[in-house]
Amino acid sequence: MADVVVPTSEVRAALGKITRGFDAGDTEPVFFGSHRRPQAVLVPIATWEKLVARAEDELDLDLARRRIADRRPWLSEDELGAALDRIAEGDSAQKPA
């Protein structure tokens, strides 16, 4: 993972240079922290967006697998609509006029 951990003070001083490198196509993450212990990482925005998209895909896949494994009966669209209407009516009936 982090072969080189840059001290936070050096990253602070070199932040402009690091971001220009990202703009120029450098894709290497910059790990930084104190006492050679990584505490954070800087990555180009394109890398960040790919990581977020992949994490969202993994979460969606996990949810789909759990739903497929769930053998309980599901509400139809009409049943769901009716249930939501009942909830909405209950909320409006409880609120003072």
Section 90-95 average pLDDT? 67
Tell whether the model's pLDDT for residue 28 goes beyond 60: yes
Interacting residues of 83 by C-beta distance below 8 A, sequence separation 6+: 75
H-helix or E-strand containing 15?
helix 8-23
Section 37-57 average pLDDT? 96
**Whole-number pLDDT of residue 44:** 97
Q: Model-level pTM?
A: 0.63
Report yes or no: 30 and 13 within 8 Å, Cβ to Cβ.
Answer: no
For a pLDDT cut of 70, what percent of the chain falls above it? Answer: 93
Q: Which residue has the tokens 């120029």?
A: 24
